[in-house]
Structures are given as structure tokens and as C-alpha cells.
Chain A
Amino acid sequence: MQKPEFTITVYTENQIGLLNRIAIIFSRRKINIESLNTSPSEIDSVHRFTIVINETEDVVRKLCRQIEKQVDVLKAYYNTNDEIIWQELALYKVPTAIIAEKVKVERLLREYGARAVAIRTDYIVFETSGHQEEIEGLVGALEPFGLIEFVRSARVAIIKDSKGFHEKLKEFESEEPGAGLIENEFLDQQDEVFTM
């Protein structure tokens, strides 16, 4: 049975070696990373990893806890595909001669919402963005016309429910936990409560 696809979003410090530290959490467990993207986040100085894997939720939850356990990791979230908005970017290089001659190709490009990013006498580079299936659909359509080169980027994803990391970061930066986190009435009065 095909395991469900999960997108893991990790907020981290920008630290050399952290990519390896995160990657080996997967490789140690012989879990294949389908896609991995590192980028800046909404906060200056905070890095954001987007990792796609096919695993059961139970495994994904454990992986996220292992990731979060790393000293330089602020927070790891995991989401199913219906909880995120995601895109991938692809570039296609095709011979100009064919594009000029065959109207059919032009129509295909329109259908897939491709944009020309470079036009040369011998080739044209098109770009599309979308989900993997859409991108791969265009690859299939272009292949008979002499697709020279194709490349697809890793997934980038926005979590629908997320309010961003700003508030969370403030909590992390304060040495004392925020008011919302102190839920234990005993903690403030340990001297009174515990006589041992």
C-alpha cells in the first residue's frame, strides 16, 4: 500500500551542518526524502526547511520529534496535502524550430500555463509551476517534440492554518515561558506545597 504523503516544515537557525543533521534523521531510518527545500522564512535569520516524505503519520510524528530535538531546530510541523498550499517549479528546454513550426506545441504550452523565460534562435526555455502531476503532464506532452532538458524544483509549501512564526519565536526567545504555558499552580509555590 502506498504510504500517505506528508510535508514537514522545519523552522531552524541558519547553521552550517544542520542540513546534514536533519537529513541523517531520515537516512538512519532508511526513509527516502522525496523532496527537500531550504529557504529563508518570514523571519529574518530563521531558516525554513520543507521536506516531503511518504510515511505513516505515526512515523512522521516520531521523525518530527527527533528533528525538533536538534539543538538548532526551533520547531517542526507536519501536514497532509489538504492542509497546505504547495507549488513546485519546472523548467523545460525545447528546440525553437519545432515551436515555430508546430502550432500544436504552442497550444500545449498555453494549456499548461507555461511562460517563456528565454528565447534563443536554437532553443526556448519555458517555465511552469504547480503540482507534480501538472508539471509531469507537460513533460509527457513535450517529449514527442524533442524536449532537450527538464528540471523540477523541490516543493515549497504554505501551511493553511499557520499564523506565521513571529509569535512562536517571541516565546522561544523569552527565557521564561509565556503566561499561556504556565498552567501549573503548584510550580509557583513549591516551598509551601512540598515539604520533604
Chain B
Amino acid sequence: MNTLEMPRESTKTEFKKVENLSGSEAVMRALIEESVTTIFGYPGGAIMPIYDALYDHQHELQHILVRHEQGAVHAAQGFARSSGRTGVVFATSGPGATNLVTGLADAMIDSTPVVCITGQVFAHLLGTDAFQETDVINITTPVTKWNYQVTEAHEIPAVLAKAFYIAGSGRPGPVLIDITKNAQLQKFDYGGYSRCTHIRSYRPKPHVRKKYIEEAAQLINEAHKPFVIFGQGVILGNAEKEFRNFIEKTGIPAAWTIMGMSAIPTDHPLAVGMLGMHGNYGPNVLTNECDVLIAIGMRFDDRVTGRLDKYAKQARVIHLDIDPAEIDKNVKSTVAVWGDCKETLPLLTEIVNRRSYPEWLERFREYQRQEDEQCIVPELNPKSEVLTMGEVIKVLNELTEGNAIIVTDVGQHQMVACRYARHNRTQSNITSGGLGTMGFALPAAIGAKFGAPDRTVVAIIGDGGFQMTLQELGTIMQSNVDIKILILNNNFLGMVRQWQQLFNDRRYSFVEIASPDFVTLASAYKVEGRRVSQRTELSGAMATMINHRGAYLLEVMVGKENNVFPMVPQGCSVAEIRLK
């Protein structure tokens, strides 16, 4: 059986009205059936028939015209991350499709559900080096969960049903469907749309087995110093409540990866902070002291583990993950709990003992006090006149009370924002974690606003990253996107500068970056803005930004050579984290 054939039920079309539709119209029907509301895209020659069909569906499918296809994918990612739904992208063939690659790679490594539909040259021109022809399927194979080229219109309903099912189920990821122009134009007998619920070669989640749940529970019940580390899996699995129940019953301290942040409120009594290279002191040091390490929906990225051969060697490891390929990939587990944590966590919670570990938790607090004294207090309440990134975030916390969606780019400002931003709600931290894509934040914030229109969205961006995708100011202008852009400007590509200072003997090689007048630039796009460099102006300017109706850009001039600490230097173990 060909898996691309329509599922069995849908072949019973005897009483269904068969319509004669174009492939493009079938694309629209599929999107509507999949409850898509928003599309981020950019038209072009090879996708014109789809845009022509969209013309008739504008009332039900909102299309946001971006300024570059990379912005479309990042916006779709932001949309997916703030709403939990699949983001949708349209792009044309050739350069339109190749411009998607960075965003696809970002969505792949951060497990973000996105469906990209690209136009392609006529099928008879494939392989002839036709105008705007590129082998998009092969280019995107390593950076998509699945991709497929449609050359016949009748394939469209089943292929798109598969695309949405694959993108959103199991460990989510990006899917690209390349549709040749003839397939978009071709008419065929459309027998209706049925959503895909099963593909025989695809197992979105492993079956849960009692044996390893019991083994895991036993390890947890015997532990003296258990430690929970969790990632985005908790958010992607909608398992925030199940996760809270688990840690609250077991009383185990929990730390998040950058992608897991906001799954529980940052001020939860069992929350001990962020893991990783610029994470908190306690969770990093005590990773190498705990006796049972419970990893939930996270993948032991090298930025989290530091030197792997010195990572948690004393601990027995329980790894809960939906993706079997993650088990034992980087860290060998004692017990692997394969499955969706939405299913496995309640099973585990049911059979673990209700406990608390006051002394063990106090160890985290002790390290917290040291970190407070040496890093956090100087960052948040600096003695010098120069503004720090941390105090900007502190003011932001006071204004948003932890209720905003914080979208960050990549670099020092990202680390500072993720260290200090407070979150009360899930799906509130949107950042480029695995790929580290500078230029992510501005388009992702646009998408995040469409995904959660009632929430305040603040994009925190460095002066370098902003210049990578600032053309999306045009999108903000045209579509009236109400996002707050907070540029933390230190006139440097700060993270690389920090490394050059610490490890390359201050040889600042091409990290000093000049910027245009961002406020004037914003005003050219009819976005109001302001620049501040004085502490006295900061809270007033921040309040203006947050309370402003519509988009606003605030540029804060911060210390040029401030560093982000603590830091686990590359090649060091997590226990060797440095406070200065």
C-alpha cells in the first residue's frame, strides 16, 4: 500500500460530492480543514497559483507578508511557540525556498511544528536548470522532519494531511511540501479532506511500558539527592500540570534548560534556576553531586552538559523522552522512560513516594546566595553609572510582572534575559536555543503576537542580531503588529567579544559593530521609539514602551564590555562553573 493514498475511510466517497478543483484550491481547503488561521509568506512566480487561490480566502486565512522568507519561518516558529499550533509558511521556488533553510534548521533543532509550502517550477522543467529552479527537496532534507515534492494535483489533500500530522505529532518539527506549478494549476476530482491520524512507518510516540516506570519510581524513591532537569518536552507535550504534580509530590528540586523555561513559574518553590553554560550556579554544580538525575523532555545539549565525560558521573540517570533517538545519545541512562511525558509523568507520579528534601534544597539555596552576592546583585544593582543588561530586565519584570512573552535573539542579551526574566505562564520564553540563530527574535516576535494576540510580546535583541532581520520592521508597519522591541546596544557582538576577552587575550577580532540610528530607522517604518542611556530615564522609558499602543522600539545603551557570568567555559565540567 502506498502511504500517500487516502486513508481507508475517505475512499468511501460514494455519497460525497466530488468537486473539480485546482491543486491550489485544494491547498486552501487543506489549510482551512487544519484550522490554520495565519500564514506567513512571500509570493513569487512559482507559487502564483496558490496566491491566486488565497485571494478568494482572505477572510478566513490571514496572510502576513514578510520582508524575507527567513522572516516567514521565524514568524511561523514564534506563532507555533506562543500558541502550541503549527505555523504555516508560503514561499516561492529557488531563492524563496533557499531563504527558508536557516529557519527550517532552527525549527528542526528546537522541535518546532512548521509546515512550509514552496512553489516549484513546472514538473516537466525539473532538472533543466529552469528559472528559479532549485533542488529544494534535497537542500532541505537534513533540516526537515519530512519533505515531499508534489507533481500531481490529486496528491495534495493526502500529502498536506500527512504534513500537518507529522509536523505536529510526536517530537514536532518542520515539514516542507514543494508543489510544482502544474500541480497547483491542474484540476482534479476533489473528494474531500480527511486529516491524517496514522502512518504505518511513523511512530510519533513510543508505547509506555510498566517496567521502566516502576524502575524509575524505585530509583526516585531510594534517592537522597534527586534532581530534576527539564526541557521543552514539557511544554511541547502540554504536560506542565503533570510536571508540576510530579515535582510537588516528590519534592525534588527542578532546573530548566533554556528551552524548558516558563514550563513552571520561575518563582516556584522547587525551581532552582537554569542549567547550562550561563545558567545558575547551584543547578550546574549540583548536577555533579546529585545521586539520581531525572531528565525530562530534554536532550543533553553540549551547552547544558559542558564536558560530557565529567557530567553527572556519580548519578544514576532517568531519561524521559518521546524520541527514542535521544535516549543514550549523549548521556547514558540507567532507566530510559520512552514516551510522551504527558502520559509517563502521571504514571510515575502515581507510584512515587510523597517526599521533601529540605536539606538538599537548601544546598541549592546556598549556591544561590553565593551567585546573588557575586553575580546577580552587581548585575541588577550596578554601582557604576553604565547601565547593565540585567537591570533592564529587572525593570521589565516589574512592569510585566512576569506575564509577557519574552522573545530573545542570540548572544549576551539572550543569556541575560533568560537568566533574569520572570515568567508566570508557560509558552512565554521564545528563543533560538539549539541553532543559535541571530536575527531570530524580530520575526519570531511578530509570529508570537499572532499566536497569542492578547499577550504582551517583548522582543529583546542585541544591536548585532537586530541588523540581521531588521527589514521585518516593514512587516510590523504594514500589518500593525503590536510588539515591543527592546534593543540592548553595547556596540559589540558581545558574546564573541566576551570569549575573545576571556580566551583570546582581548584580541577583539571584528566584534566591534557600528549601528544606524535605530530610533530614526524605526520612525521611517512609522514605529515610535526612543533611546536611553541614563538610569534615571530607564523605568520611565520602559513604562512608555510597555503601555504604548502599537509597536514601539526602545534602544538601551548598555555597558560596552560587560560580561555574562556565571559561565561554564568550553571544555570544562559543569562543576567548574565560574562566577567571574
Contact = CB atoms under 8 A, between A and B. Distances in A.
Interface in B1-56: 1-3
B323 A69 contact: yes
B145 interface: yes
A186 B347 contact: yes
Interface stretch (B202-210, B254-262, B289-297): B202-210
B146 interface: yes
Interface of A: 12-13, 16-17, 20-21, 24, 28, 45, 61-62, 65-66, 68-69, 71-74, 169, 172-173, 175, 177, 181-187, 190, 193-194, 196
Contact of A20 (B141, B207, B323, B327): B141
Nearest to B330: A62
Given A62-B329, A65-B327, 12 more contacts: A17-B137, A24-B141, A24-B142, A62-B328, A69-B324, A69-B325, A72-B202, A74-B201, A169-B200, A183-B211, A186-B210, A196-B241
B197 interface: yes
B430 to A, nearest CB: 25
B199 interface: yes
Contacts, number: 84
A190 B138 CA distance: 44
Given A71-B166, A181-B207, A194-B350, A62 B145 contact: no
Contacts of B208: 184, 187
A182 B198 CA distance: 18
Contacts of B146: 71-72
Contacts of A194: 346, 349-350
B309 interface: no
Nearest to B3: A13
Contact of B325 (A13, A16, A65, A193): A65
B343 interface: yes
A56 B353 CA distance: 40
6 A-B pairs with least C-beta separation: A65-B325, A172-B200, A71-B146, A175-B198, A184-B210, A74-B201
A62 B138 CA distance: 23
Among B199, B200, B211, B323, the most chain A Cβ lie within 10 Å of the Cβ of: B200
B324 A17 contact: no
Interface string B132-145: 00000110011001
A187 to B, nearest CB: 6
A97 B322 CA distance: 65
A77 B138 CA distance: 26
Contacts of A68: 324-325
A186 B209 CA distance: 10
A73 B208 CA distance: 21
B166 A183 contact: no
Interface string B267-284: 000000000000000000
Interface of B: 1-3, 137-138, 141-142, 145-149, 166, 197-203, 207-211, 213, 241-242, 245, 323-325, 327-329, 343, 346-347, 349-350
Contact of B207 (A62, A65, A66, A182): A182
B211 A71 contact: no
Q: Name, among B1, B166, B327, the residue most crowded by chain A CB atoms within 10 Å (CB to CB).
A: B1
B363 to A, nearest CB: 29
28 contacts: A13-B2, A13-B201, A17-B141, A17-B149, A21-B141, A24-B141, A24-B142, A61-B328, A62-B325, A65-B324, A65-B325, A65-B329, A68-B325, A71-B202, A72-B3, A72-B201, A73-B201, A74-B201, A172-B200, A183-B207, A184-B207, A184-B213, A184-B347, A185-B210, A186-B350, A193-B350, A194-B350, A196-B346
A101 B138 CA distance: 53
A20 B325 contact: no
Contacts of B346: 186, 190, 193-194, 196
Nearest to B209: A183
Contacts of A177: 207
Contact of A187 (B147, B199, B203, B343): B343
B164 to A, nearest CB: 13
Given A74-B201, A193-B350, A184 B209 contact: yes
Contacts of A13: 2-3, 201
Contacts of B211: 183
A71 B199 contact: yes
A38 to B, nearest CB: 16
Contact of A45 (B2, B137, B324): B2
Contacts of A181: 207
A28 B197 CA distance: 31
Nearest to B244: A196
B138 A17 contact: yes
Contacts of B2: 13, 45
B118 to A, nearest CB: 15
A193 B210 CA distance: 14
Contact of B200 (A28, A74, A187, A196): A74
